[in-house]
Structure 1
Amino acid sequence: MSQTFTVKAEARETVGKGAARHLRRNGMIPAVIYGGKQPPLSIAIPYKETFLRLHAGGFMTNVAEIELAGETIKVLPKDYQLDPVRDFLIHVDFLRVGEGTSVSVEVPVHFEKQDASPGLKRGGTLNIVRHEVEVHCPATAIPEFITVDLTDTDIGDSIHASAVKLPAGVSFAITDRDFTIATIAGTAAGMSEASESDEAGDEGETEA
């Protein structure tokens, strides 16, 4: 389940490059809250706190509470901009969310029970096709990650979306195909050993 963090904001009366530079000189950055059938709301938020949140991980999947003039607004970060040269944060877009708000977000994929995979034990390699997957879910119930169980997977196997158990209320954004999340690929050594094992088995059957 996604976590919630709080950001104290100030109303932003003026917009434009000059106003944005003035904010940054004072340790703030411009941001906008939109959605919820309400007009966009221009705000200023602390640079340092927001920058640290951005690089702590999960920034785009964690609900934030914006405290503004005694009001608390629940939002989800939807986009941000970095300076192309110096790589510092210069703007953030927030989506206003409520109990009935559904969103599409990218969440990371975690792989578990690798020690229970015969293919990996035989020297196979986990080839990750998608490190993240896009899902539809309630804004207040965004999963931190999607889990893929590697039990009984063997060399040559592919793990598709249909094999993944999703939390209640969560669905994959891609619905027109059973897309691949990962495969178990064989190394040259592993393939050679497997071939020798198969040949030995064939010879044993022939002698029998």
Structure 2
Amino acid sequence: MKIEINATKRGVKGTGASRRLRHAGIVPGILYGGGKEPVSLDLEHKSLFLQFRHEAFHASILTLNLEGGKESVLLRDYQMHPVRNTIQHIDFQRVNENEKIHVKVPFHFANAEVSPGVKLNGGIVAHIMTEANISCLPKDLPEFIEVDLAALDIGQSVHLSQIKVAEGVEFVQLSHGNDAAVASVAKPRAVVEEVVAKPVEGAADAAAPAADGAKPAEGAAPADEAKSDKAK
């Protein structure tokens, strides 16, 4: 998926200027890297946000159209408004096609519904990681990495070393000896049913009034005396 974004160079800098730009529907940004001087940018929020909401925008080589020139860039950072869900600032890094890049790429999980753990044993898939940091040349950068869960049974996990990636792509964690688990299938939590207590044998007899002739409790008046007192 090829994504192009348009920007202009920004001459006015500072917090006050950035605030005025945001009120006018403009996103302040910066372009840096590639052995060149950083450039302050202005980007129109509406058109930028239409691209920003796509997953590929966050893990692809983007084409930045900057006043008649084109640059290959990566999204490196951004800040969002905590309430309005608008982009407050955005950072892009120039890309050198001959240098490896480190990028976080999302996982797409497939075939969970046919795995033995889910289909036969009613297990639940837990996504331990949703993305991973990879290293590759820009031309080899994938938009996402597929994780096949078809063979997982209850209690089993799939690790980074078991995931197939294209030639030239490697997981940064694996290169540091960390073969992290990406997803697993676990037993669902047992549903606890309400248990109705059954009466204990003999409990009804114990709760019944004392039979005629039974010895009254210590300090209690005999039954005949109690009736006599009522008659008075």
- For Structure 1 versus Structure 2, the TM-score category normalised by the shorter chain is 0.7 to 0.9
Match of 1:56 among 34, 45, 54: 54
Give the TM-score normalised by structure 2.
0.74
Change (3 A) 1:5 1:156: same
AA at the equivalent of 2:45? Y
Q: State whether residues 125 and 187 of structure 1, in contact with CA within 8 Å, keep that contact through their aligned partners in structure 2.
A: yes
Match of 2:37 among 36, 39, 52: 39
AA at the equivalent of 1:23? L
AA at the equivalent of 1:69? E
Aligned residue pairs: how many?
187
Indicate the SS of the match to 2:64.
Answer: strand
Shift of 1:115: 4.3
Q: Distance in 2 between matches of 1:91 and 1:127?
A: 33
Q: Which whole-Å deviations, capped at 9, do the CAs of 1:143-196 have from their partners, x for residues lacking one?
A: 12211222332111111111111111111111222110111112356xxxxxxx
Indicate the SS of the match to 1:62.
Answer: coil
Query: Which structure carries more strand by proportion?
Result: 1
Shift of 1:126: 1.1
Q: Which whole-Å deviations, capped at 9, do the CAs of 1:109-132 have from their partners, x for residues lacking one?
A: 122223442221221111211122
Shift of 1:5: 1.5
Q: Look at both structures and tell me which one has the larger radius of gyration over its CA atoms.
A: 2
Q: Distance in 1 between matches of 2:117 and 2:66?
A: 54
**1:184 aligns to what?**
185
**2:142 aligns to what?**
143
**1:87 aligns to what?**
85
Q: Distance in 2 between matches of 1:45 and 1:166?
A: 34
Indicate the SS of the match to 1:4.
Answer: coil
Q: Distance in 2 between matches of 1:71 and 1:133?
A: 32
Task: Could you tell me which runs of 5 or more consecutive residues in structure 2 were left unpaired when the two chains were aligned.
Answer: 191-232
Question: Which structure is richer in relative contact order (CA contacts within 8 A, separation 6 or more)?
Answer: 1
RMSD: 1.8
Q: State whether residues 76 and 139 of structure 1, in contact with CA within 8 Å, keep that contact through their aligned partners in structure 2.
A: no
**2:154 aligns to what?**
155
Give the TM-score normalised by structure 1.
0.82
Q: Distance in 2 between matches of 1:120 and 1:69?
A: 53
Task: Could you tell me which runs of 5 or more consecutive residues in structure 1 were left unpaired when the two chains were aligned.
Answer: 190-208
Q: Distance in 2 between matches of 1:43 and 1:139?
A: 23
